[in-house]
Amino acid sequence: MCGIAGQINFKKQVAESELVAMNDAQQHRGPDGFGVYINQSKTAALAHRRLSFLDLSEAGKQPMSAADGKIWITYNGEIYNYLELRSELEGMGYQFRSHTDTEVILHGYMAWGHEVLNRLKGMFAFGLWDEHKKELFLARDRFGIKPLYYYHQNGNFVFASEIKGIKANATVNTILDLTSFADYFVYRYVPSPKSIWKEVKKLPAASYLVLKANGHVEVKKYWNIPFAEHTISDKEAIEKFDGLLLNSVRTHARSDVPVGSFLSGGYDSSAIVYYMSRFGYVPSTFAIGFEQWDVSEHLYADMVAKQYHTDHHSLVLESQSLDIIDHLVWVYDEPNGDISTIPTYLVSKEAAKTVKAVMSGEGSDEFLVGYQWQKEYEPERLSLKQQLLSIFKPKQTPHILQYYANAMAMGRFDIPELQKLLHPDLYQNINANPDWYYHSFYNPALPDLKAIQVMDVKQFMGEQVLAKIDRASMANSLEVRVPFLDHEICEFIFQLKTDVYYRKNETKHLLYQNIKGHLPNEILNRKKQGFVGPDRYYMNMPWYESRLNDSKLVKDGIVNGAYIQQLLTTKDHWRLWKVAVMEAWYRRWC
């Protein structure tokens, strides 16, 4: 796993010092090495920070070029079918100089062009410069596991793994996007393709970008989840899922260095340890917990670690200060209101003392119906009078979207609430439909449960959870691999009828049927719990008062001070958490 960066400017020569500055800003993503490539005309440059896993020799150094020196790549990620693709490319006559998956992408581009993306299994973000065409090719994996940001102003195109990499380039100027500021309070993140800065964009998941020689930029999707309503036998579904997951875990373990695993004591991470045991791999495992909490994650993780004899490490937090968010707003670049940012960062820090990579269970809840809000949705039942009235009303927001927006909110910010929060001069930055991003991924043609699952994959997981995991781990030079997020598993699930993979009274049916008998009953019968601490950890009113009584957001005329006092008086800790995160972010970056 690595940090990538680059700059293309057809009007003005690129300075190597700018690429070095970008590299330095992302050093945490790749402490094992660095490199810079600048083409002869000094119009295109790529930079790279290396965290090495495959071919630890100098042959794996990036940016990497094809044999003719005309095609260069800077790449961040892991391609889990790289050995199979390498064999295919060698059969086509391509000769390899390293044992890396990077070179597989390079030759794959030469063989198949942009279609190489449809052949890759894994997580990735890369920038590829084609000197023949004078074109830049950027791409991001199907789920958005790996990040990629870009800036395009006045002919100057700059990209990086993290916004701090872009902002380190002195040719970049940014202004706070107040529409994104408002969006954050609605979603707990800034939705793609926007960022917190007006001039910086995220490349959406499952998309690629081409910057042409005339300066024109094209962004295209290369993959969408395929939907169907197939029915297969329960036995066939269970066995098919087992084979797909076993293969995914096995290929995710490919590395020239040891791969550990997060272990929360829930279904997903425990299942990964079990699946690793099936091909003889005993990982180091890492858990985090809280003192004086009888459902703390580490208590359950210990049971699994003992059963599978892992080299287990538990970090148990006491009354840990929430002031760590001052550092996390640097880590995350953008405000991220997920309440598990702190434990995720700390368990990553603990794991990085022992290993360079771990596996984690993201994706299982989205694919297999693990969240309560997925299970609890009930369609709106209109009375006859309401049905008749609805005929004459303008189109209303679907009930399912209202439900989903409330389920995601953790302290709802609708238009009235945003107007209380913001200074009146800023009301024009509030979207007329603050839930616009939920609408953009809602597919009314799907069954309700599947429609919610898709929004979870594209939005909650894709925009918030995966960003949290990537930044928290990479800030500690740790790679996180997510074997449930295999596109073949995703495509298999979403082409089934929901009653094939979902049982109301059984947690994650296809997974449960494969792990029962292999994990402690305490794990199998445990109620779903997010990777968070006890509520009391986030209900520290004196802490909120100390952070917000002298608010810079209020002093700068962005946030209404009376509203903050109202939240403090009513002890509205979830809304206060969002405000406190934004306050810390604003102080650090503005």
Which residues is 12 bridged to in the sheet?
Answer: none
Average pLDDT for 485-512: 97
Q: Is the separation of the CB atoms in 60 and 98 below 8 Å?
A: yes
Give pLDDT, residue 411.
94
Tens digit of each residue's pLDDT (9 = 90 or more) over 547-559: 999 999 999 999 9
Question: Is the confidence at residue 443, as pLDDT, over 90?
Answer: yes
Of 78, 73, 204, 162, nearest to 485 by C-alpha is 78
Helix (H, G, I), strand (E, B) or coil at 382: coil
Per-residue pLDDT band for 523 (boundaries 50, 70, 90) equals confident
Tens digit of each residue's pLDDT (9 = 90 or more) over 246-288: 999 999 998 888 999 999 878 899 999 999 999 999 999 999 8
Q: Is the separation of the CB atoms in 6 and 74 below 8 Å?
A: yes
Average pLDDT for 203-216: 96
Q: What are phi and psi of 504, to 5 degrees?
A: -60, -35
Q: What are phi and psi of 494, to 5 degrees?
A: -75, -5
Rounded to whole angstroms, the Cα distance separating 245 from 551 reads 48
Average pLDDT for 318-346: 89
Question: Is the confidence at residue 441, as pLDDT, over 80?
Answer: yes
Per-residue pLDDT band for 184 (boundaries 50, 70, 90) equals very high
What tokens appear for 393 in the block? 């009303």
What tokens appear for 37 in the block? 């490539």
Give pLDDT, residue 381.
72
Give pLDDT, residue 58.
65
Average pLDDT for 200-222: 97
Tens digit of each residue's pLDDT (9 = 90 or more) over 25-83: 999 998 888 899 999 999 999 999 977 655 555 666 889 998 888 999 999 999 999 99
pLDDT averaged over every residue in the chain: 92
Kindly report which listed range (346-360, 402-416, 525-539) carries the lowest average pLDDT score: 525-539
Tens digit of each residue's pLDDT (9 = 90 or more) over 377-387: 988 775 565 55
More confident residue, 291 or 178: 178
Give pLDDT, residue 526.
76
Per-residue pLDDT band for 291 (boundaries 50, 70, 90) equals confident
Cβ neighbours of 304 (radius 10 Å): 27
What tokens appear for 525 in the block? 């019968």
Rounded to whole angstroms, the Cα distance separating 471 from 322 reads 18
Instruction: Give residues with Cβ within 8 angstroms of 174, minimum separation 6.
Output: 151, 167, 197, 198, 199, 200
What is the CA angle 121-455-577, rounded to 5? 110
Average pLDDT for 299-322: 86
Helix (H, G, I), strand (E, B) or coil at 290: strand
Which residue has tokens 């030759």?
107
Of 211, 269, 243, nearest to 523 by C-alpha is 269
Question: Is the confidence at residue 122, as pLDDT, over 80?
Answer: yes
Of the chain, the percentage scoring pLDDT greater than 70 comes to 93
490 is annotated as an active-site residue: no
Question: Is the confidence at residue 391, as pLDDT, over 80?
Answer: no
Q: Which domains does the chain have, with CATH numbers?
A: 2-221 (3.60.20.10), 234-320+327-373+447-529 (3.40.50.620), 398-430+539-589 (no CATH)
Q: What are phi and psi of 253, to 5 degrees?
A: -85, -5
Of 202, 139, 127, nearest to 462 by C-alpha is 202
Instruction: Give residues with Cβ within 8 angstroms of 589, minimum separation 6.
Output: 196, 329
Q: Which helix (DSSP H) or strand (DSSP E) does residue 588 occupy?
A: helix 573-589
Q: Where are the alpha helices (DSSP H) in 162-317?
A: 163-167, 178-187, 234-252, 267-277, 297-308
Burial class (CB in 10 A: 0-12, 13-18, 19+), 73: buried
What tokens appear for 310 in the block? 């892992």
Kindly report which listed range (4-13, 275-284, 299-308) carries the lowest average pLDDT score: 299-308
Rounded to whole angstroms, the Cα distance separating 467 from 334 reads 10
What tokens appear for 549 in the block? 């009584």
Give pLDDT, residue 376.
93
Average pLDDT for 209-237: 97
Give pLDDT, residue 62.
81
Which residues is 156 bridged to in the sheet?
Answer: 9, 153
Give pLDDT, residue 1.
58
Of the chain, the percentage scoring pLDDT greater than 90 comes to 81
Kindly report which listed range (23-27, 47-51, 220-224, 427-431) carries the lowest average pLDDT score: 47-51
What tokens appear for 141 in the block? 């994996």
Give pLDDT, residue 380.
79
Which residues is 284 bridged to in the sheet?
Answer: 311
Average pLDDT for 439-462: 97
Is the entire prediction scored with pTM above 0.85?
yes
Give pLDDT, residue 52.
61
The one catalytic residue among 2, 64, 139, 401: 2
Question: Is the confidence at residue 321, as pLDDT, over 80?
Answer: no
Estimate the crossing angle of helix 466-474 against helix 341-351, to 10 degrees.
Answer: 40
What tokens appear for 100 in the block? 């890396």
Query: Can you state the percent helix, strand and coil of the chain, rounding each to 5?
Result: 45, 15, 35
Rounded to whole angstroms, the Cα distance separating 47 from 74 reads 7
Per-residue pLDDT band for 2 (boundaries 50, 70, 90) equals confident
Helix (H) and strand (E) counts in the chain: 26, 17
Rounded to whole angstroms, the Cα distance separating 171 from 175 reads 14
Q: Is the separation of the CB atoms in 507 and 528 below 8 Å?
A: yes
